[in-house]
Amino acid sequence: MNQTPLAERMRPTRLEDLIGQSHLTAPTTFLYRAIKSGSVPSLILWGPPGVGKTTIANIIANEVKAPFYTLSAISAGVKDIRQVIEKARFQQGVVLFIDEIHRFNKSQQDALLGAVEKGMIRLIGATTENPSFEVNAALLSRCQVFTLNALERADLETMVKQALEKDTLLKNKQVELKETEALLRLSGGDGRKLLNLLEIVIDAIEDDPIVITNDLVTDIAQQRVAIYDKSGEQHYDIISAFIKSIRGSDPNAAVYWLARMIEGGEDVKFIARRLVILASEDIGNANPNALLLATQCFEAVKIIGYPEARIILSQCVTYLASSAKSNASYIAINQAQSIVKQEGDLPVPFHLRNAPTKLMKDLNYGKDYKYSHDYPNNFVEQEYMPDKLKGVKLFEPGQNAREGDLRKNLQRLWGKKYGY
């Protein structure tokens, strides 16, 4: 019996066969040209699990035809890194792929730096975490970062259909894909998880033909899928439940999901970073202290580590869950970015432009600008938006005590113009 998982059997070996990530793999892109020419630089592949990071690394190994070494940051240490570097002294164009590079500590990353800097090895790192936080600045500056997107529904459905049609073990089975919603939902956008779940379901059914339905997939998944796997399985399901519990102001559920992650061995910085984001996205100006506490929590757990970090996390989680909530700032920046993408680079009004030279002053840069502090209560009404966006309101304070105060002040200043 073939023990290789379906996701591994279906892993593409050519860039043209990769599903999704067309922004990186189209013939006109830098990465495509670099791979085809064999001149791949050191790079970091950043994106959610199961979207093609390891596959792209394998494709590079296949197409570049260079000595290729693989390390996992979960199990490898400085000794393993030095062994690869030593081999690279006697080989040309060595490529080193490090999966989950965000799990390497500073000393492990420092061990890579010299070899990357001298060009002895070309590093390919894969990470689900923001490399700006988890990769040393010196190492990061020597790598190009490529962001992989979450797979779209159409991508996932294509994966399933291709597996049923092309996999050597599945194509001879009579499989009717009656419903796909449960497969897609339980996979969470993770292509690897999707294909392996499909195989689990098919192997569990003795009927002929095999009819895949949502209820069937859900029942089998509950019986056979692991409870928690910090490297992928329910990693994002648990963090999703955790965030939604805090957002929903339920400290009891929030601390339960926190315990699930701690007992599952989740990275303490991963949890704390999510709390910093939530403090701004879901609480914001309803309680500005939330962001301060979450930021201090992040710094504290980095210093303390497990097991005591669990206490600090619990304090922060219960505070955030119990706090007043507002997503007003989050909505405001989303709307602003949407306008920028839609309208492009609208010109800055002349009275707001900087005028450090006489020529600029002659061109009316800064003319008629009113300095707020020269007026009563440090305010004077004037236009700050580009001409095309006059009167557009992006920030709407939330319905809570603190933002109520902000609303009153904005009503006093801008009530007639923006309708606060």
The three-state secondary structure class of 186 is helix
Q: Could you tell me the fold of the domain covering 21-147?
A: Rossmann fold (3.40.50)
- C-alpha distances in Å from residue 390, one per residue of 37, 328, 383: 50, 20, 7
The three-state secondary structure class of 301 is helix
Question: pLDDT tens-digit profile of 151-199?
Answer: 888 999 999 999 998 888 888 888 888 888 888 888 878 888 899 889 8
d(CA 73, CA 66): 22
The encoded tokens of residue 327 equal 């997503």
Per-residue pLDDT, 225:
53
Q: Which CATH architecture has domain 153-224?
A: Orthogonal Bundle (1.10)
The three-state secondary structure class of 378 is helix
Partners of 97 in the β-ladder: 70, 124
**Among 271-285, 312-326, 392-406, which is the least confidently predicted range?**
392-406
The encoded tokens of residue 192 equal 């690897």
Question: pLDDT tens-digit profile of 294-303?
Answer: 999 999 998 8
Residue 344, Ramachandran bin (φ over 0: left; ψ between -120 and 50: alpha; else beta): left
* Domain 153-224 in the same topology as domain 21-147: no
Segments making up each domain of the chain, as ranges = 21-147, 153-224, 235-322, 348-418
Q: Which residues contact 35 (CB under 8 A, 6 or more apart)?
A: 15, 59, 60, 63, 64
Backbone φ, ψ for residue 401 (5° rounding): -60, -50
d(CA 137, CA 142): 9
Question: Which sign does the torsion angle of CA 388, 389, 390, 391 carry?
Answer: positive
The encoded tokens of residue 64 equal 């570049």
CA-wise closest residue to 116 among 141, 99, 134: 141
Question: pLDDT tens-digit profile of 28-65?
Answer: 999 999 988 888 899 999 988 889 999 999 898 888 88
How many Cβ atoms are within 10 Å of 224's Cβ, its own excluded?
12
What is the pTM assigned to this prediction? Answer: 0.59
d(CA 320, CA 112): 39
Residue 280 DSSP class: I
What is 235-322's CATH number? 1.20.272.10
- C-alpha distances in Å from residue 369, one per residue of 389, 392, 414: 18, 20, 18
